[in-house]
Structure 1
Amino acid sequence: MREEEAVFEALRAQLREAATALADGPDALEGILLGIVDDVDRAVREPLEIFPVCHHSPASAIAMARRLREKRPKVVYLELCEDMAPLLSELRNCRLPVAVQAFASEVKGFPADWAPLSVVAPITEASAEYQAIAYALDTPGVELVLVDRSSDHVFQWQAGGSPEGRSADPEAPEAPSETPPAEEDAALHGDAVGVEIGDLRPRFAELEEHLLRHGRVRHWSEWWHQYVELPLGDSDHDTYRQVMLLIGSLFRRLAPGDAERVRVDEDRERYMWTRMRDHLAASGTDPADCLYVCGAFHAASRVEEFGVEGAATFEISPPSASVWQHGLIPSSHSAIEAQFGLTAGSVSIAATQWAKNLKRTRVQPFRLEGQVGAKKPAKTAKAAVSLPPAVPGVADVASDKLSGFLRRAPVLDPLDEAELLGWSVEIVRAARRNGYLASTADAIAVFETSILLAGLRDRARPTPYDFQDAAITCVEKDSVPGRRDVRRIVEIMMGGDRIGQVGYEALPPLARDVHDRLAPLNLKLQQRGVQRALLDMAASPELARCSDVLWMLRHLLPWGAARAIMGERRLGEQPIQESWDLALGTHQRELIELGYEGVTIEQVLEQRLRRRAYDAQATTADVLKAVEDATLYLRSRRLADELGTRALEVLATERSVDGAPEVLRRVRRLLAYYRTSEPVLPPWIESFVKTGYAHYCTLLPTAFGDEDATVRQVAAMLGFLFSMESLALSLGCDRTQLELAFAQSHPKEPAKVALRWAAQVQLGQLSRAELRSLCDDLLGNPLVVPAYPRYLSGFLHALEPVPQLADFVVEAVSNAFARLPDPVLLPWLPTLISTLRADGSDLAPLLIREAGRIFPGRLAALDAWVPPWLEPPAVVEARPTAGAGAGAALLAAYPATCDAVADLLGYEGSWEAAAPAASGAVLTARHPDTAVALEALLAGP
């Protein structure tokens, strides 16, 4: 047997003996125990060195930095989506952590409800992949090759073809986080599919439960920190590599038999080995000069394509027609924990452990030259380029490190009293700042309890998780006085939720353009948090351009990114002063994703307005809103006319009146704007009024009888017909359509009946006296009185199409209060109030204003006040005559003024003396018998 084949023979013999002792025979566990050793042996003997890692593991990062300085590979193959390679050089312009993102808003080849597609790969300084990236980019002659499936293939390989399937990435752990992050920064990645390098977590629930129970820990992150992270933090390369391969093989062989998930895992491995062999063949690089960085789960692979001598039978499918955009977005520790189901605070603890490992091992890490936000140790850049000479034969033939590692008892780190005492004092200080009544006694209790808990869990040195449990027990007790609980305070104290930032140079053109155009505000827009911007356009007209940008951002970004405190934008109005709360640094991800949709925010807004207008589910109101937004924010007459024509098309196809109130409101606003700002109305709105008049006349009879059509919707239809009638008739519409529609309308619901009566008054088919008589009959019928509030609701909504009936509605309500007895009125009063509040909140101001005009202004005048509708008819009819006579006398007394007014209005004429004559109406009222006889005489026999 060759030497390299006999490396793990002793370990195999030990495992056979263990299998024989624990089971009925060696065959029972041979497939697992010996298969794990075979996987490790196979990966170790591969000519192309495989470096297994765990994502965000300080031990992996330390081992990676050490191995890169020893081996100095010429090619680094990295398990990361191959289409993300062009963006990695921009990491130096960012403050870590950040995430590389692939984004597709135009989805082709995938279900439409998957859109938008988003894939992110978060990167922190305490990660092995960042060490490999920094080494490759800053070391001359080194090539970095990304070999994992593309972002398009991530979605091509999703199972089931359902939106739910795309959120369950094969690299994402199954179990959710035990403690979800409390900060809103956990949503920095949005609804994206994550791609991790080296995710290591048991997919077999029983195995994880067994490890947690026997390890005396609460969750997986604590187990990994105690039993893997700390032992491997300062181990040699061979030990680290073999242990990681062992863990990856164990979790892989004990994973449940999910055929679809296994297929995706193996296809990824076939994909990566195919890409590496293709690159080796094309470049002629010696495999010994290469390093393959991948997750430990994929390092222990058993596919036929494994290795440089593997089979070349895997065919990579072509990408879909989706258009992918790439960029960098800010990330944070809590965002990584939330997306990948890690325990809250685990990434922050890993960052703290990374700093400790650097001090203890004195390994010099790799950092990108000019990295934003990173501490710059002396000669960092030179160290990345001028590496020490390579040692020949290092790790060429690996020895068996697993046997000793598995038989060695865990090393118990001695208690660091100074560190634990500092933690205890700091947690009390932080708790006081958050409202807890903590004292020095609590600090002592936390110190002693941490040691006690560590002892109960067979640890000599308390871990951060032991300290967290002790702090919760001793400080939080049974109440949380503030916004943060003690668990969150400990996480912040251990390193906090570090939030990354994408630098200006790494932003897409749209985001840079936004920052440039908002430069006159003199604000630090990259800074997180809310900043106040004051815009005085009267004193500084150049700020009007900033106002335009802010209003578009308010429309495009989520609430809170750009929030108007003072000022509003309306059609036909010019802003003078505005006040804004800006949080563009907090919402940097959303601003960057806008850059994937266009070069400028105007282009993105235009695309979104078109998308909204031409959506298959778009209503007429939706399209009219798009027209209004195009006019308000873009001031584009061309786009407004195009979308207006689309609104006309949608209106002609609608068969319901659900959006009638919104259509009426927006058409009125657009008409008022065009009439004051344009010499003539746009052709589309004239056609819209003409088509709408005929359309609502056709639907009116059906709406009156349809139980699903509300009285508010019918009132909006009548409001459109009555308010647009003059314009529609001038464009060629026929009023006979409206009259026929009313002749065919026979409502049964009380509110609609009252609404029809009011509309008939507007059309002249019903007089006010007849309407008053109908209401009196309702109040006089005991069977109808309980439904009288519903009639009032109809009259109230009638103020939309017939606002001149406001005084009559006041009369109807007043008569009800005057005539109904208390036993009837008091039970009916709550119904009346709720009806008016629910159905007439927007029309109530008109009703209140009219009531204020009719009723006396002082309480003392109420006793002698007589309602206008109860005054004698003769008095009512005499008032217009007296008013007309007074007006004529006034004009005759001042002829020069009358002539001047007539010339101003364009009237011509001369003064003629005429004998005063009694008005025909007055004579008829004075002599009714003569008027009847004269009428009979004129009628003939």
Structure 2
Amino acid sequence: MSGPQESGTFAALRGQLQDAAATFADGPGALEGILLGMVDDVDRAAREPLEIFPVCHHSPASALAMARRLREKQPKVVYLELCEDMAPLLTELRNCRLPVAVQAFAGDLDGFPAEWAPLSVVAPVTEASAEYQAIAYALDTPGVELVLVDRSSDHVFQWDRRDERAQEASAEAGTPADQPEAALHGEAVGVEIGDLRPRFAELEEHLLRHGKVRHWSEWWHQYVEVPLGTSDHDTYRQVMFLIGSLFRRLAPGDGDRVRVDEDRERYMWTRMREHLAATGTDPEDCLYVCGAFHAASRVEEFGVHGSQGAFTISPRTATTWQYGLIPSSHAAIEAQFGLAPGSVSIASTEWTKSLKRTRVRPYRLAGQAGTKASPAKKTPGRGTAAGVAVTPAPDPAGGDRLTGFLRRPPVLDPLDEAELLGWSVDIVRAARRNGYLASTADAIAVFETSILLAGMRDRAKPTPYDFQDAAVTCIEKDSVPGRRDVRRLVEIMMGGDRIGQVGYESLPPLARDVYDRLAPLELNLQQRGVRRALLDLAARPELRACSDVLWMLRRLMPHGAARPIMGERRLGERSIQESWDLALGTHQRALIELGYEGVSLEQVLEQRLRREAYGPQATTATVLAAVEDATLYLGSRRLADELGTHALKVLSAERSVDGAPEVLRRVRALLAYYRTNEPVLPAWIEAFTKTGYAHYCTLLPTAFRDEDATVGQVAAMLGFLFSMESLALSLGCDRTQLELAVAQSHPDDPAKTALLWAAQVQLGTLSRSELRARCAALLDNPLVVPSYPRYLSGFVHALEPVPGLADVVVEAVSNAFGRLPDAVLLPWLPLLITTLRSGAADLAPLLIREAGRIFPARLPALDAWIPPWRAPQPDPFAARRTQPEPDAPRGAALLPAHPATCDAVAGLLGCDGAWTAAAGPSPAGGAALAARHPATANALDSLLAGT
């Protein structure tokens, strides 16, 4: 595997490297093996009959060399290092504005761990990349076939080590993700087409230190990108082969990563040999585009004549993959692949400058958004193209261009003063717009400092990175007055963070349906930025369909995609006017990924509601929230009844009261909605009420004693029991169960004790006067006074189940402020305030309203005001308690005054008698009744006299 030693192509270079190794390493050894092995790798790749074109990810030099080579060679088959299952999607690139990313997405997994879901693989594409040039050439040139040969998206995760990816993600936590665009790819796995970076940390550090640069992107730009930009094809290939071999041989012996790299190379060469055998294509008419790291491969399957049958491609899992295009950006690419901030933007600018300098006509897909169509036109004479100089055909043996390149001293580009001066003026102008106190003097300082930094770094022409450092030094000073710092301003000035967009024709059906249903708004929702939508639903009822779509988008998409400014949607309520801030263009990726879950918003929302309700972590409150959303957004009685029945099962299985407050709030809202909008209550909510009543009665004694159960949770349980009591009793529940549960409750916590007293008052086992006496006893006990705020907290929480106790709570608070001295009151006053704020903030308004009703509204009236609980209260039953002495004549006097009444009562009692002539009662009639029951007659007489 050491390479063809008999070849004389690189004999001179081998001899020089062997002599250098012997000189610097004091004799042959490991250094000689590495240096000579690199030459063997270059020779082996250059002599391969199927031409290998090594590239670097998003490198303008690679793109420029690719455009030249494609016009010169005109290959019939292009093999591309990209997931083979993404091939059908590449034709949709012509409907997009670059950069975009080809995505494979899987939500339902079959063959992978469930916790990995969802799976996502992205391959970003920019115009300044060799991959795009190859794709555009193959798709727009008749008779050319594009074959993707890399592992499928399924194999990406079959070979994946998720724990290692988690470690790498934590190690790269400092990647530039502070901008929203940096998260456009989310947590997707990036397919590193043309990845070329040292995997040996010491090597990268050595290159950066001796190259006098700060990061890898700057080193690549200075020492590879610029020299290769004007080199010929053979030189470009051999240099890239050499760099790939160097990084590969000096990579650490990481078994898993090395195994994955080698398996990818075996996979690709196996697919290419299968295609060649199936089609009978001549390898001379093919071009293999891959990363330089994989071009210098040493696996046995390398080449069209490599070993056959040694590598078996495993079958894919049963996971269903969906494919689409998502918008990408320069910042997203930099964040995902660990590049320096602004490096992709600078590469895009260099690509544009190189095209003007070399007059190379790049390939662009016909109809590509944001670009002019530039199809490949085959001109007479193979190898000629408009605007491109004719170069001689390469030597079949490859030729030793590497020796001359390595011996050639670095070319010092002359200073372009006009370009640098323009940069200096533009950055000062941008800095002033962003709040910096920059002036003409700063522009001069940036100009001179850029030249100075370039000279210190052994280059005559300042690079964009030199200019960026100079601008930060001269303008930023010690503070950043605005939202952007100077480094970010330079990135914007150099081209900015260009963000791609997926065209309407390439969107999934769901996304197109959303845009179609929102068409009546007459807004360009595919454009990035925020659009304000005003919906007058009363004047234009047809916009209610748009409103329904917007509310579902708010439920399904990230925050900010659809944000309501005016209007709300609650159970039983509908707005007559709404105002929305819409940013669907900015969140296009999220909208596209919704299309992977279904063909309509309603279908996706129903699936998500079912997933939330039937999930392993679902609680009763979660299921009730799903019921509410199904009613609110879908208006589906069928789904609401199904989820409500499931909520009944979840409630029966719960053994804690953690979700009691949320359950109470949602059940009340649903019950109020059904009572006002349905002729009868659904069967599931009646069953839920019965089950919940028995369930919470069973848990109540335990919750009062449980230290983990908060007073708010216990109050919510009592609130459910008391507010649902009438419905539960009508459905057959027994109130004795609640009375026994309260009687068996013996809390130790002061707040829960106060809550228990309130429950006893509601049940009638404790009178209000007894409750007031207990509160007074608490204030009389010096040992209990420090805990009095906790009792008050319990009383305030008791307003949830027993709102009628608001006056008693106000009285308890007022007595504390009136009776306790300042020495006792002031220390626990902060505790009282913090307790009420943290535990009962939503109940405080009820307490304040009651206090406002009781206390005087005017300050002068406060001096003469007497609290209602201290004012003497007349006894309404005092007259009843007085028992006058029997007075037969007084009672008997009523009978002749009301003879008809007397006769009627006597007839009901079976007495019959006649009146005397003197209008007196006969002994057998009313007089007999009065004589027989004098106390009753006297009581009736006293009552009538009082009225």
TM-score calculated relative to the size of structure 2? 0.90
Between the two proteins, what is the percent identity of the paired residues?
79
Paired amino acid for 1:374: T
Instruction: Give the corresponding residue for 1:329.
Output: 326
Q: Is the 8 A contact 2:175 2:338 kept in 1?
A: no
1:277 Cα offset (Å): 0.9
1:397 Cα offset (Å): 3.1
1:419-476: per-residue Cα shift (whole Å, max 9, x none)?
Answer: 1111111111111111111111111111111111111111011111111111111111
Deviates more, 1:24-33 or 1:86-95: 24-33
Q: Is 1:143 the equivalent of 2:145? A: yes
Question: Against the structure 1 CA distance between its residues 222 and 777, is the aligned structure 2 distance closer, same or farther, given a 3 Å change threshold?
Answer: same
Instruction: Give the corresponding residue for 2:176.
Output: 180
1:50-74: per-residue Cα shift (whole Å, max 9, x none)?
Answer: 1000011011001101111111111
Q: Is 1:694 the equivalent of 2:694? A: yes
1:186-208: per-residue Cα shift (whole Å, max 9, x none)?
Answer: 11111111112111111111111
Instruction: Give the corresponding residue for 1:88.
Output: 90
Matches within 5 A, 1:229-268: 229-268=225-264
Q: SS of 1:812's equivalent?
A: helix
Q: Is the 8 A contact 1:4 1:397 kept in 2?
A: no
Matches within 5 A, 1:904-915: none
Instruction: Give the corresponding residue for 1:131.
Output: 133
Q: Is the 8 A contact 2:73 2:382 kept in 1?
A: no
Question: Against the structure 1 CA distance between its residues 856 and 2, is the aligned structure 2 distance closer, same or farther, given a 3 Å change threshold?
Answer: closer
Q: SS of 1:119's equivalent?
A: strand
Paired amino acid for 1:536: D
1:923 Cα offset (Å): 7.2
For 1:346 and 1:635, how far apart are their aligned partners in 2? 50
Instruction: Give the corresponding residue for 1:296.
Output: 292
Instruction: Give the corresponding residue for 1:495.
Output: 495
For 2:595 and 2:175, how far apart are their aligned partners in 1? 34
Q: SS of 1:621's equivalent?
A: helix
1:463-495: per-residue Cα shift (whole Å, max 9, x none)?
Answer: 111111111111112222111111111111111
Instruction: Give the corresponding residue for 1:930.
Output: none
Question: Against the structure 1 CA distance between its residues 242 and 441, is the aligned structure 2 distance closer, same or farther, given a 3 Å change threshold?
Answer: same
1:550 Cα offset (Å): 0.5
1:760-798: per-residue Cα shift (whole Å, max 9, x none)?
Answer: 111111111111111111111111111111111111111
Q: Is the 8 A contact 2:778 2:784 kept in 1?
A: yes
Question: Against the structure 1 CA distance between its residues 208 and 175, is the aligned structure 2 distance closer, same or farther, given a 3 Å change threshold?
Answer: farther
1:898-920: per-residue Cα shift (whole Å, max 9, x none)?
Answer: xxxxxxxxxxxxxxxxxxxxx99
Greater Rg over alpha carbons, structure: 2
1:28 Cα offset (Å): 3.6
Q: Is 1:213 the equivalent of 2:209? A: yes
The match for 1:117 among 108, 116, 119 is 119
1:508-559: per-residue Cα shift (whole Å, max 9, x none)?
Answer: 1111111111111111101111111111100000111111001100011111
The match for 1:190 among 186, 192, 201 is 186
Q: Is the 8 A contact 1:137 1:144 kept in 2?
A: yes
For 2:260 and 2:585, how far apart are their aligned partners in 1? 37
Instruction: Give the corresponding residue for 1:655.
Output: 655
Instruction: Give the corresponding residue for 2:917.
Output: none
Unaligned runs of 5+ in 1: 882-918, 928-941
Paired amino acid for 1:330: P
1:352 Cα offset (Å): 0.8
Q: SS of 2:123's equivalent?
A: strand
For 1:145 and 1:465, how far apart are their aligned partners in 2? 38
For 1:122 and 1:479, how far apart are their aligned partners in 2? 35
Instruction: Give the corresponding residue for 1:311.
Output: 307
Question: Against the structure 1 CA distance between its residues 357 and 3, is the aligned structure 2 distance closer, same or farther, given a 3 Å change threshold?
Answer: farther
Paired amino acid for 1:364: R
Deviates more, 1:284-293 or 1:25-34: 25-34
Question: Against the structure 1 CA distance between its residues 71 and 877, is the aligned structure 2 distance closer, same or farther, given a 3 Å change threshold?
Answer: farther
1:564 Cα offset (Å): 0.7
1:122-149: per-residue Cα shift (whole Å, max 9, x none)?
Answer: 1000000000000000011111010111
For 1:293 and 1:637, how far apart are their aligned partners in 2? 56
Q: SS of 2:534's equivalent?
A: strand
For 2:840 and 2:166, how far apart are their aligned partners in 1? 46
Paired amino acid for 2:31: L
1:689-718: per-residue Cα shift (whole Å, max 9, x none)?
Answer: 010011001001100111111111111101
The match for 2:371 among 374, 378, 387 is 374
Instruction: Give the corresponding residue for 1:738.
Output: 738
Q: Give RMSD over aligned pairs.
A: 2.3
Question: Against the structure 1 CA distance between its residues 777 and 407, is the aligned structure 2 distance closer, same or farther, given a 3 Å change threshold?
Answer: same
1:880 Cα offset (Å): 14
Instruction: Give the corresponding residue for 1:912.
Output: none
Paired amino acid for 2:123: A
Paired amino acid for 2:138: A
Q: Is the 8 A contact 2:217 2:340 kept in 1?
A: yes
Question: Against the structure 1 CA distance between its residues 387 and 102, is the aligned structure 2 distance closer, same or farther, given a 3 Å change threshold?
Answer: farther
Q: SS of 1:224's equivalent?
A: helix
For 2:522 and 2:6, how far apart are their aligned partners in 1? 67
Question: Against the structure 1 CA distance between its residues 103 and 877, is the aligned structure 2 distance closer, same or farther, given a 3 Å change threshold?
Answer: farther
For 2:722 and 2:713, how far apart are their aligned partners in 1? 14
For 2:880 and 2:627, how far apart are their aligned partners in 1? 46
Matches within 5 A, 1:608-757: 608-757=608-757
For 1:766 and 1:419, how far apart are their aligned partners in 2? 89
1:2 Cα offset (Å): 10
Q: SS of 1:602's equivalent?
A: helix
1:310-352: per-residue Cα shift (whole Å, max 9, x none)?
Answer: 1222111111222211111111111111111100111111111
Instruction: Give the corresponding residue for 2:507.
Output: 507
Q: SS of 2:607's equivalent?
A: helix
1:203-223: per-residue Cα shift (whole Å, max 9, x none)?
Answer: 111111111111111111111
For 2:173 and 2:688, how far apart are their aligned partners in 1? 55
Q: Is 1:22 the equivalent of 2:24? A: yes
Matches within 5 A, 1:21-100: 21-100=23-102
Q: SS of 2:147's equivalent?
A: strand
Q: Is 1:772 the equivalent of 2:772? A: yes
Unaligned runs of 5+ in 2: 385-391, 882-934
For 2:284 and 2:439, how far apart are their aligned partners in 1? 61
Aligned length: 879
Q: Is 1:343 the equivalent of 2:336? A: no
Matches within 5 A, 1:553-592: 553-592=553-592
Paired amino acid for 1:232: L
Instruction: Give the corresponding residue for 1:360.
Output: 357
Instruction: Give the corresponding residue for 1:886.
Output: none
Paired amino acid for 2:684: W
Matches within 5 A, 1:378-527: 380-381=374-375, 383-384=376-377, 389-390=382-383, 394-527=394-527
Question: Against the structure 1 CA distance between its residues 36 and 3, is the aligned structure 2 distance closer, same or farther, given a 3 Å change threshold?
Answer: closer
Q: Is the 8 A contact 1:167 1:193 kept in 2?
A: no
For 2:4 and 2:30, how far apart are their aligned partners in 1? 28
For 2:430 and 2:485, how far apart are their aligned partners in 1? 11
Deviates more, 1:85-94 or 1:12-21: 12-21
Q: SS of 2:325's equivalent?
A: strand
Q: SS of 1:328's equivalent?
A: strand
1:112 Cα offset (Å): 2.0
Instruction: Give the corresponding residue for 2:922.
Output: none
1:703-751: per-residue Cα shift (whole Å, max 9, x none)?
Answer: 0111111111111101111111111111111112112212211111111
For 2:744 and 2:5, how far apart are their aligned partners in 1? 101
Paired amino acid for 1:770: E
For 1:776 and 1:424, how far apart are their aligned partners in 2? 79
Q: Is the 8 A contact 1:177 1:344 kept in 2?
A: no
Q: Is 1:222 the equivalent of 2:227? A: no
The match for 1:13 among 12, 15, 21 is 15
Q: SS of 1:564's equivalent?
A: strand
1:393 Cα offset (Å): 5.7
